[in-house]
Amino acid sequence: MQLGNDDFVPVILGTNLNAYNISRSLHEAYGVRSLALGRFAVRETAHSGIVQVRARADFADADVIVGVLDEVAREFPDRTLLLIPTIEFYTNVVLDRRDDLDERYVVPLPGRDVTDRLMNKTDFYRTCAELGVPHPETVIVGPNSPLGDDFGTDLPFPYPVILKPSNTDIYPRLDFPGKQKVYVVQDAAQLRDIAGRIFVAGYDDDLVVQEYLAGDEAVMRVANTYSDQHGSMRFAACGQVVLTEWDPALVGNNNAIISVRDDELVASMQRFLDGVGYVGLANFDVMHDRRTGLRKLLEVNLRPGATSYYAMAGGGNLLRPVVQDLVYNRPVPFTVATEERLWLNVPYPVVRRFAPKSLRAQYTSAAKNGKVHTLDYAPDLSRDRRIDIARIDARHTLAYFKYAKTRSQ
């Protein structure tokens, strides 16, 4: 079966759920089959008719990745190759080795002058302040900061606070007891303990200490955007988080989102992205500050979010403007996805059982308009694929029951 069409071939770095998000969006828009490259074949993209997976264990080496991409370029000499990374590591490889790739690949990523301001959270919050974009109050802790007994006692905001790494490329590759993606810290002693353990584990960049915006999923929003090759935001989709991941190792991921209209958030993102001359796909984490009523940007990822298919549920295809702009070089109309539907990465009964009661009326209403599960795609439901999806759903369901016991203690 042919990859891509006569004009272009989508090449995805990663074989995970995000790879399937992207493949499904491209298949719905253009009827094309994508190529996904990564270290392992996983169930999310297994036995699929819309994405071909090529996996090799040494795909964590940048030279190997570039070598494989060179082989793919020789395999398709007469078609445009659209390259889309799905995680920070692959994004960084593409940015670092772009001179080796640009001749053959088109990539929905900004240049280094922009990415250096955004990938590090320290610089991201500084940029927000410069552009007047709402963001949480923040204190930066460097790797050489003294962690004495008075450290953390004079923060400009009260405990509990949020602690997270500024560098999301280095941190995921570390391994140490009690590691989490984000930490909720109760006092100065705990802040000193966690920060110390992170630095001892080999992390050598800034840590971000941030005001804690209280609330359950009701205060959490996400957004995905595309800015064209001229640095103008042309697509946006906002989502209200309904159910987050409860596994401590996966905290920060979402499993149910309502696609919503949010004009205030769209305006903030446009001011931010156009202000830095951003080009390409972006994914924002956002919190609603109930004290001020502001939507505050927490971070930006230079790639589509793993849950970005909620944009399709909202009536907007995130990948269509990418192809129109970079493959066909056509003007991209300004589009905001506003239809209210429920996107799922777990069975709906799991949402009804574990999502906050404060969101029940909203997600029930959205579900009546339509429920969309990324992996449940009618043109791609072979017998083996149905079994894979059932196993994935069962794994997620059991995890919620497991961690519900922990959370109740």
| Pairing label, strands 294-301, 220-227 | unpaired
Domain ranges of the chain: 8-107, 137-211, 217-408
**Which of 3.30.470.20, 3.30.70.100, 3.30.565.10, 3.90.79.10 is the CATH number of 217-408?**
3.30.470.20
Mean pLDDT, the chain, integer: 93
What pLDDT sits at residue 148? 83
Query: Alpha-carbon distance 17 to 45, whole Å?
Result: 7
Provide CATH code, domain 8-107.
3.40.50.20
Provide CATH code, domain 137-211.
3.30.1490
Query: Alpha-carbon distance 282 to 274, whole Å?
Result: 12
Contact criterion met (CB below 8 Å) for 48 and 23: yes
pLDDT string in tens for the chain (409-residue length): 799 999 999 999 999 999 999 999 999 999 999 999 999 989 999 999 999 999 999 999 999 999 999 999 999 999 999 999 999 899 999 999 999 887 899 999 999 889 988 887 888 888 999 999 999 998 989 888 888 888 899 999 999 999 999 887 788 889 999 898 889 999 999 999 999 999 999 999 999 999 988 788 899 999 999 999 999 999 999 999 999 998 877 777 899 999 999 999 999 999 999 999 999 999 999 999 888 889 999 889 999 988 999 999 999 999 999 999 999 999 999 999 999 999 999 999 999 999 999 999 999 999 999 999 999 999 999 999 999 999 999 999 999 999 987 775 5
